[in-house]
Amino acid sequence: MAGKGSCRLNSIGFGTWAWGNEFVWGYDPSRDDGRLAATFRQALSSGLNLIDTADSYGTGRLNGRSESLLGGFIEALPASRRSQLVVATKLAPFPWRQGRRGLDRAFNASQKRLGGYLKRVQLHWSTARYAPWQEAALLDGLADLVQAQQVDELGVSNVGPRRLRWMQARLRERGVKLSSVQIQWSLLSPGVAPAQELLDLCQSLDIEVLAYSPLAFGVLGCPPGETPRPSTWLRQRLFRRLLPESLQIRQLLAAIAKERGVSMVQVALNWCRATGTTPIPGIRSPRQAMDAAAALSWQLSEAECFALTQARERCIARMPSNPFQSR
C-alpha cells in the first residue's frame, strides 16, 4: 500500500511482443538482436523481473522468435539471477489445438525455446466467442501441467469478468490457483466499465492483473506538439488517429511529468500501477528499460490519479479492442 495521500502501487514487468514482430514493430534481426540483448540486461539490472512473452510472438517465419531470443538471453545469466525471474508465456488456443492435451505440444515447444526457464503458462485468449466447447478442456490441460509440477503458475489473458468467474470456479475445483489475468489497460484502452469490473473482481480474488499496451503503442509517451512517424504502416495509421484525439490527456501527462522531473512514460505507467495493475510495457532499447524501471522510484498523488482518470473519461479516443477479448 502507498502512503497517505497516494495511490496504492503494483510492480512493473515488461513485454516482448515486438521481439520478432515485423508487421507491427518492424523487427529486423540483423539490426535489433544485439540491442534487444542489451535491453534485456538493462531491464534486469534496473529491477524488472517479470517478463511476458507468447508462443505466437514473431511474424511468419519468425514465429516463436520472442521466446527463442529470451531463452538465449536467460541462458547467459548466472544461475542465481535466473532463479529470480518470473517468465510467463502465453499459448494460443488455435482451432486445431483441441482437447485436454491440445496445448501440450505448444507448451513443450515453448519450454524448449525458453531453455526450460518458464514459471507461468497462460491461455492467450478465451475461445468463448467462437468455440466455447474448446475452452474447458484446454483450461483443464493447463491445470494438469501445474498439478504435474511441469510449470509453477497458471494465468489467463483477454477475458472479461463473466468468463473469469467461470474459469476461477473451475480451477478452484481442481485446487489450482489462478495467478494472473492480462487485459489491455491504459489511459486510452477500450471497454472501461467491464475492465474496471474485472479489476475489482481480481482484487477480491487475489489475482494479479497484468496491464498490456499500457502506453497505447507509444502514443502516451508522445509530447504535445510532436508528430513522430513510426516505422510501420499499422502504427502510423494508429498515431494519425489517436494523437489529435488524445491531446488533452497527453498535455496533462506532460504537465505532471514536468512538475516531477520525470517522463510522460513514467506517469502513464504509474497511473496503471495506481489502479491496481502491473503494467508490462513493451521495451526495445536499454533507454526504454531504464525509463520504465524509473517509475518504480516514485508514485502519483491521489489528486494526480484523479485528474488523469477524469481526463480519461472525457477523452473519446480509444485503442482498438482485442477481437478475442471475452465478456
Residue at 301: amino acid letter: S
> Quick one: which of 162, 200, 243, 181 has its CA closest to 52?
181
The active-site residue, picked from 57, 117, 130, 212, is 57
Residue written as grid cell 540483423:
30
> Quick one: which of 17, 93, 82, 105 has its CA closest to 53?
17
Integer CA distances (angstroms), 300 to 143, 254, 267, 290, in order? 38, 14, 8, 19
Q: Is 57 a catalytic residue?
A: yes
Residue written as grid cell 497484468:
210
Helix %, strand %, coil % for the chain, to 5? 50, 10, 40
Question: Cα angle vertex 37, ends 231, 284, to 5°?
Answer: 30
Please give the distance of CA 280 from its chain centroid, rounded to a whole number.
Answer: 4
Which residues contact residue 162 at a Cβ distance below 8 angstroms, ignoring those fewer than 6 apart? 326, 327
Which residues contact residue 33 at a Cβ distance below 8 angstroms, ignoring those fewer than 6 apart? 69
Residue written as grid cell 502506453:
215
Which residues contact residue 265 at a Cβ distance below 8 angstroms, ignoring those fewer than 6 apart? 215, 220, 221, 281, 288, 291, 292, 295
Consecutive H or E run containing 292: helix 286-294
Assess contact for 216 and 188: CB atoms under 8 A.
yes
Helices (H), 151-232: 161-174, 192-205
User: Which residues are known to be catalytic?
Assistant: 57
